[in-house]
Amino acid sequence: MLELKVVEPGTVHLTGRLDAAEADRAMAVFEPLPGPLTADCEGLEYISSAGLSVLVVTHKRLMASGHKLRIVNLQPRVRNVFKYAGLDRLFQVE
């Protein structure tokens, strides 16, 4: 189960699991948001390749309009997924 909450303009809090079952719903939240965006992943427990895809697509869309997607507050397990996928070099991870 994934909870997505837009808490202020430009910040989305993610809590739970961002996997294939939740990817479409997550994309529906991220897609209309203008940049720059911050994904606060403090409560994100798990991310699959489908979840990473949501973030990559969002990043590419924002880059095309001159903005960025920042990823903040990654838990160690989730940070490792970003590192192993090489996405720690693509995203601004803090």
Which residues 6+ apart lie within 8 Å of 34 measured at CB?
65, 67
The total number of structural domains in the chain stands at: 1
Domain of 74 in residue numbering reads as: 2-93
Alpha-helix residue ranges (DSSP H) falling in 1-94: 20-30, 49-64, 76-85
For residue 70, what is the domain's CATH number? Answer: 3.30.750.24
Q: What is the pLDDT of residues 18-77, one digit of tens each?
A: 999 999 999 999 999 998 999 999 999 999 999 999 999 999 999 999 999 999 999 999
Confidence at residue 94, expressed as pLDDT on a 0 to 100 scale: 86
Residue 60: CB atoms within 10 A of its CB come to 11
Phi and psi angles of residue 3, each rounded to the nearest 5 degrees, phi first: -115, 125
What single-letter amino acid sits at 22?
E
